[in-house]
Amino acid sequence: MTVYELKQILRDFDDDCDVRLAMQPNWPFELSIGDVIGIGDTVYIAEDKQIGYLNEEASNELGWK
């Protein structure tokens, strides 16, 4: 995914929405976002803190259940 593609997806959401990372489809967790850095032509989004288990609705929407 490119920065442009991510921007296109995010433009449909309210600017005040929280952004989280969903990880590990077998044991889905929800994480906050840490640092965002750029090295060369790649952007890295680091995980920050584990918030808890990913809610069932999000897990289903991602096709993880």
Written as six digits, the tokens of 1 are 């995914």
| pLDDT average per 10 residues of sequence, the chain (65 residues) | 95 95 95 97 96 96 92
Between CA 28 and CA 14 the distance in angstroms is: 24
DSSP 3-state assignment of 51? strand
pLDDT at residue 34 in the model: 96
Total-model pTM: 0.80
DSSP 3-state assignment of 38? strand
Domain extents in the chain: 17-61
